Amino acid sequence: MIDDIIKLARINIQKLEPYQSARRIGGEHGDIWLNANESPISCSFKSKKKLFNRYPTCQPENLIFAYANYVQVLPDQILATRGADEGIELLIKAFCEPGEDTIIYCPPTYDMYGVNAKISNVKIKEIPTFKNTWQLDLLKIQLNLNKVKLIYICNPNNPTGNIIPKKDLIFLLEITLNKCLVVVDEAYIEFSPKESMTFYLKKYANLVILRTLSKAFSLAGIRCGFILAQKEIITILNKVISPYPIPTPISDIAIQSLNINFINLMKNRVLELNSNRIWLVDKLKNLSCVEKIFDSNANYLLVKFFMFQEVFETLWNKGIILRNQNEKINLKKCLRITIGTRLECSRLIEEIEVFSKKNMSKRGLNEK
């Protein structure tokens, strides 16, 4: 009987492989979490709101104005969402005809672009970036724009950490003008703020930017993000967003985080984590089990290891949780490491050093 009930689900949902979030795959059992690109430095807030018997405003005005002031765009160019993830979903809901339209994304990148398209029965064109440089294959994208409504570009890209040059993004905007939207996911942009595309919102009607408070703002637990676009696009998205997407305590805490004092604290955290990333790269370079370290402009590193599975499992058993990227296109033997505190990074290096001394000499002998 249960099989008959399951068959009531849409065919595409029956076949869907859900997104494997850090928590869903059991990455919460350790004591050093370097697997979800969260901030390791928490920030304490208390909700000033005490009464919750009324529904919240769909788009809290104080929150919109606070974020508009932070990113220097007009309030009518902003939509508050439940994390940047909801922004990905809303764009597909609003702009893609199920079974007809297509999105483009460029793996290896954030998997939720594809997952949301599959949920909505929207077609996908995967156009991989060039191996090792992770830059866009602009020619191939240009040749595959038929029936494409959305192009998702993560910048800095997750999990590779690289920056897509502005000239490439502008080229995409030019060739897709009046044809489709270019969605630049800037979840990690505070770690490389000069690379933001917000300045170009006034010039390109087809530019959409996704933002979040989950990363640099150290507020992953409140799930608050934003869509930035020209006001006509925001008006369309307002038609499909749920009636009360931002709970009252969430908007209250988000507004507090956008106070100038907390913005300055955020910038100091970014400086600290960027410094820890540089330190970690320097230490990893000296480890025999490390095959390659990719340049990063975000709060994580992509690292290719000899004996990657053994490294991953050894650290996991020690309570140090990384993100295995081996199954993603062009990421064989790669692990993604979120940048932690200096103490967490030191512990990571210590354990990898122990692993290297125990295992790499044996590996060399076996290969001989």
Closest by CA to 30, choosing from 352, 312, 230, is: 312
Name the pLDDT band for 308 (thresholds 50, 70, 90).
very high
Name the segment(s) of the chain with CATH classification 3.40.640.10. Answer: 61-259
pLDDT at 368 over 50: no
pLDDT attached to residue 28: 64
Percent of the chain with pLDDT over 90: 86
Q: Given strand 102-105, what is the order of strands in its sheet? A: 78-81, 225-228, 207-212, 181-185, 148-154, 102-105, 123-126
pLDDT digits (tens, 9 = 90+) for 192-238: 999 999 999 999 999 999 999 999 999 999 999 999 999 999 999 99
Q: Which fold has domain 2-38+266-355?
A: Aspartate Aminotransferase, domain 1 (3.90.1150)
pLDDT attached to residue 342: 97
pLDDT attached to residue 363: 59
Closest by CA to 291, choosing from 337, 353, 339, 334, is: 334
Task: Report the mean per-residue pLDDT for the chain.
Answer: 94
pLDDT attached to residue 99: 96
Question: Using the 8-state DSSP alphabet, how is residue 76 labeled?
Answer: G
For 321, phi then psi, to 5°, come to -105, 115
pLDDT digits (tens, 9 = 90+) for 41-98: 988 898 888 899 999 999 999 999 999 999 999 999 999 999 999 999 999 999 999 9
What are the strands, taking DSSP E only, across the chain? Answer: 32-33, 78-81, 102-105, 123-126, 148-154, 181-185, 207-212, 225-228, 290-293, 300-305, 320-321, 323-324, 334-338
Name the segment(s) of the chain with CATH classification 3.90.1150.10. Answer: 2-38+266-355
pLDDT attached to residue 17: 80
227 contact partners, CB below 8 Å, separation of at least 6? 78, 79, 81, 87, 90, 91, 208, 209, 210, 211, 234, 237
Q: Determine the CATH number of domain 61-259.
A: 3.40.640.10
pLDDT digits (tens, 9 = 90+) for 120-161: 999 999 999 999 899 999 999 999 999 999 999 999 999 999
pLDDT at 19 over 80: no
pTM given for the model? 0.94
